[in-house]
Amino acid sequence: MAKLSAHARSNLSGSQFAGPNKTYPVPDKAHAIDAKARATQQYNAGKLSKAAETKIDAKANKVIKRSK
């Protein structure tokens, strides 16, 4: 996965994030796959609701599907 610098992250539009408050950036397939994994980890740790995890997964899936 390509590293996303702070400068590049700040230049992403709001639609390129899957989570609330500009969390879980999904500008490309690799980041989308990682967002899904991290959301699952946070849900399993009790730090993320099932609804939020589902929303993040749906947004990430759109990015993954678009990049095929």
- β-partners of residue 25 are 17
> Residue 67: is its pLDDT beyond 90?
no
CA-CA distance, 48 to 40, in Å (whole number)? 8
What is the count of structural domains for the chain?
A: 1
State pLDDT tens for residues 2-53.
789 999 999 999 999 999 999 999 999 999 999 999 999 999 999 999 999 9
13 φ/ψ angles, rounded to the nearest 5 degrees: -75, 160
- Give residue 1's pLDDT: 73
Residue 6 domain flag: no
Chain CA centroid to CA 64, Å = 11
Q: Residue 34 is which amino acid?
A: D
Residue 14 domain flag: no
Residue corresponding to tokens 């700040």: 10
Residue 48 domain flag: yes
Residue 3 domain flag: no
Domain span including residue 60: 19-66
